[in-house]
Structure 1
Amino acid sequence: MKDGMEGVEAHRQMGVDDVLRARRSIRDFKNTPVPDALVDDILRAALHAPSWGNVQPYRVAVASGTLAREISADLMAIYERAMAFRRAGLLTRLRMLRGGIPKPDGDFNTIMRYPPELDARYKATGKGLYELLGIKRDDKATRERQMGKNFAFFGAPTVLFVFCSADLGAYAALDTGAFIQSLALAAHTRGLGTCAQAALATWAGPVKTRFDIPSGYKLICGVSLGYPSDDPVNTYAPTRRTLGELCIQPS
């Protein structure tokens, strides 16, 4: 994907349908910094997302440069300790428990059991991604390293931590989802890529200790932001529902 003014102009000429089809979850970014003014421009565009009664129940904490690297280092250290606990034998686990293990401290549970219909789609998406990456099902070490890239923001120079109001329940999450989609599309039209990551809400401590989070707001996900690299992983496009699968028929 191009960066620079030529690439930005080409993306801005795309129609809405084109942008929706072309957007991908980017899992490998260039280390090229994203100018603060461009981040602000994307956020201003995303603020035109619809919300219930125009309440806009979301806030964003932007991290880049040294701040992003510090948060990433803390998250990676927690993740690696959690994986070490998972791999350890019983006696080692007992010793680690006495020393304290990094239990999730996020506002939402990011580790969940999917109902059968959705579980099938989730597993198919993961299978397709790992096949593209050449990662075997029984290669646990490589799978762990790939998962760990979430906490390095897939190399993105900027990450946006998205918070939603805790007082509006599901409707705050609904509005926040519309905001995140708008943000992703606005980034794409400017030649950038994004990856919305629930994983970045698993451990909230490294974020909350570095930002003055308004009362009543909960961390729902992070969004890595930057210029996509040419890595083949960025070509991955999982299948979508057909209209027959999407539309509920009259009874």
Structure 2
Amino acid sequence: MRLRTLRQPRDRQDRPRWPQPTVHAQLRILRRTHVAIITSPADLGTYGAVDCGLYIETFLLAAQERGLAAAPQAAAAAYSPFLHEHFGIDDDRAVIAAICFGYPDRDAP
């Protein structure tokens, strides 16, 4: 799994923008935001997705224990081509979800 800050491409019209409005709202709530793209071997199908769900649950609990806020986004899988290109994910991997995480901004509305 690669962890890297997701930066919204703003100037270039030829690059896709991060399309999920709820993700934008969650990114604003977190400062020093990072994203974990959760993938599974595509040939595992539903079994891989179930395993990833268990991993996501553990990730969220561990993040909370360490004072981090985290927001899982299963809708990110709908933008798999963009995520594959942006993060260099191999074609034999299925995007299951994304988790935005970082230190919470307590002053955010």
TM bucket (normalised to shorter chain) is 0.7 to 0.9
For the 8 Å contact 1:164–1:219, the answer to whether it is kept is yes
* Structure-2 separation of matches of 1:210 and 1:181: 25
Correspondence for 1:75: 17
Deviation at 1:177, TM superposition (A): 0.8
Correspondence for 2:54: 178
* Structure-2 separation of matches of 1:180 and 1:208: 19
Q: Which runs of structure 2 are paired with 1:110-129 in the superposition (5 Å)?
A: none
* Structure-2 separation of matches of 1:211 and 1:232: 28
Higher helix share: 1
RMSD after superposition: 2.5
Q: Deviations over 1:89-118 (max 9, x none)?
A: xxxxxxxxxxxxxxxxxxxxxxxxxxxxxx
For the 8 Å contact 1:159–1:223, the answer to whether it is kept is yes
Q: Sort the Cα spacing of 1:186 and 1:214 in 2 relative to 1 into closer, same or farther, 3 A.
A: same
Number of corresponding residues: 101
Deviation at 1:176, TM superposition (A): 0.7
Q: Deviations over 1:13-53 (max 9, x none)?
A: xxxxxxxxxxxxxxxxxxxxxxxxxxxxxxxxxxxxxxxxx
Q: Which runs of structure 2 are paired with 1:149-188 in the superposition (5 Å)?
A: 149-151=22-24, 153-155=26-28, 156=30, 157-188=33-64
* Structure-1 separation of matches of 2:79 and 2:24: 10
Deviation at 1:162, TM superposition (A): 0.9
Structure 1: unaligned runs, 5 residues or longer: 1-59, 80-146, 234-251
Q: Deviations over 1:149-175 (max 9, x none)?
A: 414652241111111121122211111
Match of 1:213 among 74, 77, 89: 89
* Structure-2 separation of matches of 1:206 and 1:171: 24
For the 8 Å contact 1:150–1:199, the answer to whether it is kept is no
Deviation at 1:230, TM superposition (A): 2.7
TM-score by length of 1: 0.36
Correspondence for 1:62: 3
For the 8 Å contact 1:162–1:220, the answer to whether it is kept is yes
Higher strand share: 2
For the 8 Å contact 1:194–1:226, the answer to whether it is kept is yes
Deviation at 1:184, TM superposition (A): 0.8
1:194 aligned counterpart, secondary structure:
strand
For the 8 Å contact 1:62–1:159, the answer to whether it is kept is yes
Of 165-174 and 147-156, the range deviating more from structure 2? 147-156
Seq. identity, %:
29
Which is higher, the Rg of structure 1 or of structure 2? 1
Q: Which one-letter code corresponds to 1:150 in the other structure?
A: V
Structure 2: unaligned runs, 5 residues or longer: 11-15
